[in-house]
Amino acid sequence: MYKDELEKLIQEFGNFTQLKLENIPDIDLYMDQVTTLIEEKLGHLKRTEGESTLTKTMINNYTKSGILMPPKKKKYSKQHIILIVLTYYLKQILSIGDIQKLFSPIVTSIIKGEDRREELNSVYKSFLEIEKSEIESFIKNFEHKIGLENILKIEGNDEKTVFEDKFQLEGEKDIVDLILVVIMLIVKANMEKRMAEKIIDKFFTK
């Protein structure tokens, strides 16, 4: 029963859309225009309809935290929008402080007047390619990586599961399987998060 529902959920990942670099305006935008753009392009990533993808308060906080350069005459450039999109993804895992450290070398040099557009564009294009590749790989290998068929199998026994004796009802076993799927996903995400934090601490912390 749960496999069908999981398959439907995983297929939703295949319907993702990206904010391509060429679809980010080259002209500077006011804050309202920025929030509207992000909502239109990334709104599908929200967990619930009541969530906000980006608010004016968030933008102000990103600027105060050093993630963004201060706007010029209350307008935000293409570089701002690239950093905002990257921050949206990164903040799902990393703290605002870690994101600031990560972006600090580029943001600091831009504030000093250096032109880092080419580098930021390159980072953003690579990000889009990585996202597309990782999503496709995740969809393709989900059952294999998470082991939906074998998730509770005891080593050397193809018929019996760890919880078979305790959970005889199919509904109860479904819940146990789903709990373990969630746990395995979180364990993987946690390990990757810890590695990302170690890289930031090693190379981006002064």
- Cα 63 to Cα 34, 111, 193, distances in angstroms: 14, 12, 24
Instruction: Check residue 128 and give its pLDDT.
Output: 94
Q: Which domain holds residue 77?
A: 17-136
Looking at the domain assignment, is residue 9 inside a domain?
no
Q: What is the largest CA-CA distance in the chain?
A: 68
Looking at the domain assignment, is residue 180 inside a domain?
no
Looking at the domain assignment, is residue 83 inside a domain?
yes
pLDDT at residue 154 greater than cutoff 50: no
Instruction: Check residue 175 and give its pLDDT.
Output: 74
Contact call for residues 34 and 83 (beta carbons, < 8 A): no
Average pLDDT in the chain: 84
Contact call for residues 80 and 71 (beta carbons, < 8 A): yes
C-alpha atoms less than 13 angstroms from C-alpha of 144 in its C-beta half-sphere? 5
Looking at the domain assignment, is residue 130 inside a domain?
yes
Looking at the domain assignment, is residue 85 inside a domain?
yes
For 162-206, the pLDDT digits (tens) are 444 444 445 566 777 777 778 778 878 988 998 899 999 999 987
E strand spans, the chain: 29-30, 75-76
**What domain count does the chain have?**
1
Looking at the domain assignment, is residue 86 inside a domain?
yes
How far is residue 186's CA from residue 188's CA, in Å, rounded to a whole number? 5
Tokens at 72, concatenated = 């010029």
What percentage of residues in the chain have a pLDDT greater than 90? Answer: 56
pLDDT at residue 159 greater than cutoff 70: no
Looking at the domain assignment, is residue 199 inside a domain?
no
How far is residue 22's CA from residue 132's CA, in Å, rounded to a whole number? 17
Instruction: Check residue 168 and give its pLDDT.
Output: 44
For 68-77, the pLDDT digits (tens) are 999 999 999 9
Burial 105-117 (b: 16+ CB within 10 A, else e): ebbeebeeeeebe
C-alpha closest to that of 187 among 162, 161, 155, 151: 151
Contact call for residues 110 and 69 (beta carbons, < 8 A): yes
Looking at the domain assignment, is residue 176 inside a domain?
no
